[in-house]
Amino acid sequence: MKKLLAAVCLAGGLAAAQTSVINIPALPPGVTSPPRPSTPAPSTSTPSAPAVSPTPSTPVTTPAAPTVTTLPTGTTALAVTAALQGPDSVRAGEANTWDFVITNTGTAPLHLEHGACDVRFEVLNAAGEVVRPDPKNTLCTMQLVITDVQNSEEATMQKIRWEGKDSQGNPVPAGTYTLRAKFVGGGNFTPPATKQVTVQ
């Protein structure tokens, strides 16, 4: 019996020694080819939108009114305020006049010797566009005008006249217009005076 047992052990050891990695079957018994890899089904989930970083908000600003002017400039500002006094409403094509009035805001009396055309004016529409520029080729008399204004007092320097027409001499459309006038003479100048006028 010992011999039989030794023979079985010896045969089992030889069989174990003869088995190697090469003769280990790669497939399970009864399978002749490896299974094909399965393709995963397409994803039905909706792709998420890419994250959008918030953009900084830009404040909305109203454009500034045009600062274009056709009025002349001077070198020395007078210590005065200026105003236009006259009608608030006019008809297009009809002549009207406005007084150019200055108030002396200085401490000394004001004495001006100037020409008859030294108060210049222009007309702007509601959009701030100059529709009647200050004319550059006008004829003016050689008359000398003297304006004396005591401190804290006012005086009319000159009158301006507008017929409700544009630079081509055509009546302007109905609407709101701004008369803008200033004195420039002998190197002196006043701040501009403005007045809104409704043209019918």
* Res 151: pLDDT: 95
What is the rounded CA–CA span in Å between residue 98 and residue 13? 132
d(CA 31, CA 27): 6
**pLDDT recorded at residue 88:** 98
Strand duo 193-199 + 89-90: pairing: parallel
Instruction: Measure the CA–CA gap between 74 and 190, rounded to whole angstroms.
Output: 9
- pLDDT for the residue numbered 46: 57
Domain residue spans of the chain: 76-199
pLDDT tens, the chain, 200 aa long: 455 444 444 444 444 444 444 554 555 556 555 556 555 555 555 555 555 555 555 554 444 445 689 999 889 999 999 999 999 999 999 999 999 999 999 999 999 999 989 999 999 999 999 999 998 877 788 889 999 999 999 999 999 999 999 999 999 999 999 999 999 998 999 999 999 999 99
The domain made up of 76-199 has a fold known as: Immunoglobulin-like (2.60.40)
89: left (phi over 0), alpha (psi -120 to 50) or beta: beta
Among 76, 140, 86, 137, CA closest to 112: 76
d(CA 89, CA 162): 12
Can you say whether the dihedral through the CA atoms of 51, 55, 57, 61 is positive or negative?
A: negative
Residue with tokens 């000159």: 158
pLDDT of residue 55: 53
Task: Choose among 135, 88, 137, 140: nearest CA to 114.
Answer: 140
Query: Rounded to whole angstroms, how far apart are CA atoms 58 and 68?
Result: 27
